[in-house]
Amino acid sequence: MELALVIGVVVIALVFDYTNGFHDAANAIATSVSTRALTPRLALLMAAVMNFIGAHLGTSVASTVGKGIIAPPDGRHGLIIVGAALIGAIVWNLITWYFGLPSSSSHALIGGLIGSALAATEAVKWNGVVEKVVIPMVLSPVVGFFLGALIMIAILWIFRKANPHKAGKGFRYAQTLSAAGMALGHGLQDAQKTMGVIFLALVVGGYVPKDASIPEWVITASALAISLGTYAGGWRIMRTLGRRIIHLDPPQGFAAEAAAAGVLYTAAIGFGAPISTTHTITSAIMGVGATKRLSAVRWGIAGNIVTAWVLTIPAAAIVAAIGYFILNLVLG
């Protein structure tokens, strides 16, 4: 029975990874598509490939998710907790995708883990949640906003005497690199979160020891699932990021992507912190837009996005708690 549950949780985790891909595909490519630096299909293909590569660049974020958020018991009960967490994250991803809100798949997963653990009266590692989730969750959008603004100001100063048409054409080419860097960072961050949950399921099911390295098949499966999801595309959210917050031009798109990618790499490689690619690129876009003039940013749309950010962890936690009670009733 436990083997069937482990397989079921792994499958659900890969489904979450796939929804993460099409939900967050816009993070890497919305600005490049909106400025016409890349065609939508080419941009999705590039993002999918870079997601796959990025997923193989480290496992520190996976270790944080797999070992640093909750401590479920071994056996069937622990697998039910992990499965319910994934269900909560998937449902919230689908809800926010339907309404075109760029919420965080990362925080949906973490909220799901917390909610299912609390419903099961199991331990939540609150010190790890605060240190690795809450603090980075607050800091990464702030850093993304100001770094995006600083890069944009530097671009405006450096190219102040350049021909606008030639500069715009050059930045369209540069956006190919910045979008690729953003997609690589997305794979580095988000695919690792699924790896962490699958590893947690294997530990709880008794198939790997707690101090083992993440198996290669887990890394490859997670990379492939998020890449396929990315290629499927997330057009609703792409419109929100690419057009509705601010109408971007190529230099602005490059600045936003460069800032967001820098924050993603620093968090993943330097601190192993599972930050939100959605929060980071959205705040960077706002920071870039604010350098033009504050009214250039559609703050009403931005406010709706921030509301979705605030709701993500508790909403996913509630759905996961309900999922836990249902699964425990059926399987427990």
Q: Does residue 63 lie in a domain region?
A: yes
Number of domains within the chain: 1
Work out the number of other CB atoms within 10 angstroms of the CB of residue 40: 14
Q: Does residue 184 lie in a domain region?
A: yes
**pLDDT for the residue numbered 325:** 94
Q: Does residue 294 lie in a domain region?
A: yes
**pLDDT for the residue numbered 97:** 76
**pLDDT for the residue numbered 80:** 92
Q: Does residue 331 lie in a domain region?
A: no
Q: Give the pLDDT of the chain (332 residues) as one tens digit per residue.
A: 578 889 999 999 999 999 888 776 666 677 677 777 777 778 788 888 998 999 898 888 888 888 888 888 888 898 999 999 999 999 988 887 777 666 778 889 999 999 999 999 888 999 888 888 888 888 888 899 999 999 999 999 999 888 888 887 888 888 888 888 888 988 888 888 899 999 999 999 888 888 888 999 999 999 999 998 888 765 555 555 545 545 677 888 889 889 999 999 998 888 888 888 877 888 888 888 888 766 656 666 667 667 767 888 999 999 999 999 999 888 86
**pLDDT for the residue numbered 102:** 63
Q: Does residue 207 lie in a domain region?
A: yes
**pLDDT for the residue numbered 242:** 47
Q: Does residue 332 lie in a domain region?
A: no
Q: Does residue 129 lie in a domain region?
A: yes
Smallest CA-to-CA distance from 267 within 138, 92, 136 is with: 136
Domain that residue 25 falls in: 2-326
**pLDDT for the residue numbered 26:** 62
